[in-house]
Amino acid sequence: MLSPRAVRPLSFACLLLPAAALSLGLSARPGAIQETDLSPRVAALEQALAAQTQRLELADQERQQMLAKLGTLEACLNGQAKSIDELVASLGRVESQGFTAGINPKSREELLAGLRSYLAAQKEALGKLEAKPKAAAPAGRGTAR
Cα of 93 vs its chain's centroid, Å: 41
Question: Dihedrals φ, ψ of 132, to 5°?
Answer: -70, 135
Most confident of 25-39, 68-82, 93-107: 68-82
Tell me the average pLDDT across 112-130. 85
Q: Report the half-sphere exposure of 81 (CA within 13 A, side-chain side).
A: 14
* pLDDT at position 46: 97
Secondary structure letter of residue 142 according to DSSP? -
Read off φ and ψ for residue 134, nearest 5 degrees.
Answer: -80, 140
On whether the CB atoms of residues 81 and 123 are closer than 8 A, the answer is yes
Distances from the Cα of 34 to the Cαs of 24, 37, 132, in angstroms?
10, 10, 62
Q: Which amino acid is at 94?
A: V
> Could you tell me the pTM of the whole model?
0.46
| pLDDT tens digits, one per residue of 91-109 | 888 888 888 787 788 888 8
Q: Which residues contact 13 (CB under 8 A, 6 or more apart)?
A: 45, 49
Name residue 71's amino acid: G
